Amino acid sequence: MKTYVYLDWNIYNKIEKVDSLPESERLVYNRIREQILGDYIVTPYSNAHINDLARGYKKDNRFVQGHIENISHLSKNLCLTQYWNENRVTWHFRDPLEFLQTTVKDSENNTTLEGFLSEDETGLSRIPFMPLKYNKLPEDFAQLFEGNSLFDIMYPKTKVSMTYYSFAEDMFDFVHNIKKDFALYKQFRKLINDNRKKLPQSKSLFDGIDKSITSIPSQLKFDNIWEKYKASQTFKNSRFQLIIDTYYKLDLGGYMQDEKFENLIDDSLHVYYGAQCDFFVTNDDRCFAKATKVFEDLQIKTKVLKPLDCPQSFA
């Protein structure tokens, strides 16, 4: 039976540069590489690795070709991806270079909600959003803007239009902007931590928002802010949402917090894909700690390892 090992991006990177590493590290990563090339373990890559590469590609694409060749060599192009609206993760063979080029192209087009929806030539993606343009948010929603100036940054269109569609646009923009703006992420995280004890007092406000409309997509509701996780229909794959939600809640709750939001997103994906394999290997202390906690809390059998532990564990 094959042993499946999911490698965090930093492990792929270390193996690529193995000849330039200090001797102690070189021995560790050479032994991992030998097990991969000797077919003792199978190491798939994922769209989380591609996301890491895509960011670097936009800044400086001179080194991308080497990274792609390394991923292709070690993974043999075996790819793990949770595609949108699929009820399970997809195991398939996909050329990493083609995947990267597609990802970069999509990210350039999908910087706004309108841009994202326009990618669907059938127009079906717009249907759930059309009623939101005519549905007004409750008047109480305006209270948010009185409490913290951050909400002016988060919801500029909502403040003017006060519709569910403007709210959806702002949320789409915010997720895009927070990945690029470290200061914005720090403000957002501080807001959550500072108001942790106050949030239950505002529960009625958000309950009222959810109850005032029946057609709003479930992913736009506030239920998960207040309730302990319950399986929902935000994604067809409830296992995906459970793992990602648990990882986010640990981080935003103050447990081994990431400094950048884009790291939080990609690391949560790495942890999800790691949960599909027998082992998950990372040398990132934050990711290691949170992955271990997520797997313990959710009773996932995947073992989280640091590189130094790999040779003994795979024997």
Structural domains for the chain: 3-110+272-314 (3.40.50), 120-226 (no CATH)
pLDDT at position 27 over 80: yes
CA-based radius of gyration for the chain: 21
d(CA 131, CA 113): 15
CA 302 → CA 99, 277, 292, distances in Å? 26, 6, 9
Instruction: Find the mean pLDDT for residues 231-245.
Output: 69
Task: Give the three-class secondary structure for 5.
Answer: strand
d(CA 208, CA 200): 14
Contact between 147 and 155 under an 8 Å Cβ cutoff? The reply is no
pLDDT at position 164 over 50: yes
Tell me the pTM.
0.68
- Residue 293: the pLDDT is 95
- 226: tokens are 């207040």
- Residue 61: the pLDDT is 73
Confidence of residue 93 (pLDDT cuts 50, 70, 90): very high
- In the chain, beta strands by DSSP E: 3-7, 41-42, 45-46, 78-81, 90-93, 279-281, 303-305
Residue-averaged pLDDT of the chain: 78
- Residue 143: the pLDDT is 76
Read off φ and ψ for residue 80, nearest 5 degrees: -110, 125
Confidence of residue 104 (pLDDT cuts 50, 70, 90): confident
pLDDT at position 19 over 50: yes
